[in-house]
Amino acid sequence: MKPYAPGEQPPPGKFIKLNTNENPYPPPPAVIHAITEAASGPLNRYPDPMSTSFRRAAAEALGLPGPEWVLAGNGSDEILTLLVRGFVGEGQSLRLPSPSYILYRTLADIQGASWEQVEFDEDWRLPAEFSQSRDDLRLVLLPNPNSPSGTVVPPAEIESIANSLACPLVVDEAYADFAEENCLDLVQRNEHILVTRTLSKSYALAGIRFGFLVAQPQIIAELTKIKDSYNCDAISIAAATAAMQSQAWLDENVAKVNQTRSRLASELAGLGFDVVPSQANFVWCTHPSGQHRAIYEFLKTNQILVRYMDFGDWGDGLRISVGTDEQIDACLLMIQRALTQLP
């Protein structure tokens, strides 16, 4: 089996880290307080198996009818694992777009299932093929905003894709807080649309490992049967609950990140890059020189980590996460230097 290779995670402090779409800012202050409180709580006891405080806070923050619409997990990767485990069996298949988040393929492999990739067109739109039903197709997964492009399929189009499929459509909204639109309303009127979210990006909590699913209550109830009893620990539940209660912090953080994203995109364009308009906390860019690996290596030698991605025949490029303004200035300066040194 081919493993999924996550981005490089060097020890803290050595690099300006712009490779795994983390938030460059510390999490909401209420989270730190909640962690301290939880750490002095009864850690000899098992945590709440259903992460009830978190589910209530999430339902309230997102305007959902109630906590029964939310399932908490150890990162959204665990939620995605549960979805594939629950819906896709041996000999069945799942569909994903390409280039996109290839973890889904590994999750299918674990199940002894197959996966089918459908390529985006050159404007990062989905071809009609993506919506076609097939007998063995049990789950369709769509990151929205997509990674590595940061592009968005509009909710109206997502609804029409879901309506032409005979299986559920999972909209992976890991980056949706940075985007203009999301699919939460669709979940409430269409039982075939499921949304996954994470606290790793917009809530600056990648180190905590917390993600969740928003789906109709009957689906949450079924997936609850196949999760580990205590899939989220007491400290993480406390932290994630406090994060969901920090919506003003979220709005401010997203505004700051999005502002830096615009500047990063326009300055990269000024350096000759082709930059895909992004609604996430990263940008995908390619350079006419095609020297993406060399630029990545040059940056790494100079203590700046970005993500070099090679999608085979489709091509390669650089995905750069939005950092603080100072980090982005340092990155742009080093890219400029790299370009002057290319063969």
Query: How are beta strands 211-214 and 70-73 bridged, if at all?
Result: antiparallel
Q: Which stretch binds ligand PMP (CB under 6 A): 73-81, 106-114, 160-168, 324-332?
A: 73-81
Using CB under 6 A as the binding rule, whether residue 75 contacts ligand PMP is answered as: yes
Residue 250, both tokens: 């979220």
Render 33-74 in DSSP notation, one character per residue.
HHHHHHHTS-TTSPPPTT-HHHHHHHHHHHT-S-GGGEEEES
Nearer to ligand PMP, 4 or 230 (CB): 4
Least distance in Å: CB of 180 to ligand PMP? 17
Q: Which stretch binds ligand PMP (CB under 6 A): 59-67, 69-77, 88-96, 149-157?
A: 69-77
Question: Rounded CA gap, 271 and 158, in Å?
Answer: 35
Q: According to CB under 6 A, which residues from 299 to 338 bind ligand PMP?
A: none
Please tell me what DSSP assigns to residue 128. G
Contacts of 78 (CB under 8 A, 6+ apart): 209, 211, 227, 231
Least distance in Å: CB of 77 to ligand PMP? 3
Q: According to CB under 6 A, which residues from 179 to 238 bind ligand PMP?
A: 198, 200, 206, 211
- Cross-sheet strand order for the sheet of 93-98: 70-73, 211-214, 193-198, 169-172, 137-143, 93-98, 114-119
Question: Rounded CA gap, 145 and 290, in Å?
Answer: 25
Using CB under 6 A as the binding rule, whether residue 76 contacts ligand PMP is answered as: yes
Q: Which stretch binds ligand PMP (CB under 6 A): 72-80, 88-96, 177-185, 247-255?
A: 72-80
Least distance in Å: CB of 83 to ligand PMP? 12
Residues in the chain: 343
Nearer to ligand PMP, 150 or 334 (CB): 150
Nearer to ligand PMP, 83 or 174 (CB): 174
Binding residues for ligand PMP (CB under 6 A):
75-77, 101, 143, 147, 172, 174, 198, 200, 206, 211
